[in-house]
Amino acid sequence: MARPQSPDYDTRRQLILDTAADLIAKEGFAGTSVNDVAAACDISKSLIYHYYSSKEDILFAAMEDYLSDLRLVVSEAVGANGDGETRFRTVVHSLLENYKNAGAKHRVLLQELDRLSGDRRKAIVEGEDEIVGQIAELIGGIAGLGADKSKTRTAMTMLFMGMVNWTHTWFDPDGPINADQLADMATDIFLRGVRG
Amino acid sequence: MARPQSPDYDTRRQLILDTAADLIAKEGFAGTSVNDVAAACDISKSLIYHYYSSKEDILFAAMEDYLSDLRLVVSEAVGANGDGETRFRTVVHSLLENYKNAGAKHRVLLQELDRLSGDRRKAIVEGEDEIVGQIAELIGGIAGLGADKSKTRTAMTMLFMGMVNWTHTWFDPDGPINADQLADMATDIFLRGVRG
DNA sequence: CCTACCGATCGGTAGG
DNA sequence: CCTACCGATCGGTAGG
């Protein structure tokens, strides 16, 4: 008879992911040992290997976990009612709201991509590209860029992604400006800047 | 008689810095061993320790080296003749030009700051803050923000820093858009967005 | 007593 | 779910 799965299985799996993301965000992937993760979870290193078969597996799972949240949030905002500018503004609010709640995973997603093997890196990059592609379509519509301007549209979109993705290095949601105010500021600057 | 310093001393010191920056940008600080650096330089590990007394010393020196270039370039552009918008545009061109020539050191400066000890991290952050402060003054003038709007000015400046600092993740200077075109695009969008 | 540089190895810790 | 270990490699230093 197969031994039943622990009732804590999913909870513990998630704890490992969240804890690993915190440590990797602070110390880097190579600077975080599996033992560090185990100690912070108050479990043995061997138990970590019961849930994930390698350190890279943990990194990949943490990235997938957060990226799937982002994809959901962005496609909902993009597919909502309203004109392009309104939906764009909603996307920015959603992104910054999400970053606020998952700062460590966000930094890990942005900074540790090169630590994945080729196949897995490709899988993550594809997910990121789909998000960026949806935002690029919105921006293309707002800026009035035809299909012949795809290079310009891509560069514009990536300049915008920089504005929002860079926030993790300096923005404090509990500081003088909150996430919604920052989202409006970024939206206003960018829309005024690219409006056709 | 004291034995003289090797005539290759400065050349070799610089080789270590540049090589270490390349490896650290790719593999992360903890993922790069002193031996990796030595092998890539075709010298012994012991010789690395003749030039730098610890791995962290190498990281710090590489960051200082690049940061001092950035500071020079930015303060020159900021202090040049011309109105605020012209000087701002020059800063953006200078920054992107510099990033292009020092991609690895740029990534290291942005990504490995937490690997430094407190004192050294503080020294680097102070240098970065001076650059950001100079750019913030330019932007404040352009956007017509008084001293009472310093929080807004800071947020605006950091949104802009995101646009340019994020380029290292996606921009290919040999791609369809060159560094000068991208600098103009970023400048145009941002200036139209914040102009008072 | 200085600096330049090597082959070999130190005490500890990594992922597994 | 743990302790006990491994082959290898880590950052840093010894003698000469």
- Provide the H-helix boundaries in B42-117: 45-51, 55-78, 84-101, 103-111
Average pLDDT, chain B: 92
Per the CB < 8 A criterion, the answer to whether A67 and A124 are in contact is yes
**Token pair of A79 as six digits:** 């597919």
Query: Would you state the pLDDT for residue B3?
Result: 45
Percent of chain A residues topping a pLDDT of 70: 96
Amino acid at A180: D
For residue B4, pLDDT beyond 70: no
Q: What is the pLDDT of residues A113-153, one digit of tens each?
A: 999 988 899 999 999 999 999 999 999 999 999 888 999 99
**CA/C1' separation A66–D6 (Å):** 35
Q: What's the CATH number for B55-195?
A: 1.10.357.10
Interchain CB distance below 8 Å, B158 and A152: no
Listed residue (B127, B104, B5, B118) closest to B56, CA to CA: B118
Per the CB < 8 A criterion, the answer to whether B15 and B41 are in contact is yes
**Token pair of B64 as six digits:** 């200082």
Quick one: closest CA in B to A166, which residue?
Answer: B162
Residues packed against strand D, CB within 7 Å: A 6, 8, 12, 43-47, 50; B 30, 32-36, 45-46, 49, 53-56
**CA/C1' separation A109–C7 (Å):** 42
Rounded to 5°, the CA angle B66-A158-A112 comes to 60
Amino acid at B150: S
**Token pair of B119 as six digits:** 């004192």
Which segments in chain A show pLDDT lower than 50?
A: 1-3
Strand D nucleotides with an atom less than 7 Å from a protein beta carbon: 1-4, 9-15
Q: What is the pTM of this model?
A: 0.91
Domain layout of chain A by residue ranges: 55-195
Query: Would you state the pLDDT for residue B1?
Result: 40
Quick one: closest CA in B to A176, which residue?
Answer: B151
Per the CB < 8 A criterion, the answer to whether A104 and A25 are in contact is yes
Confidence of residue B90 (pLDDT cuts 50, 70, 90): very high
Query: Would you state the pLDDT for residue B6?
Result: 67
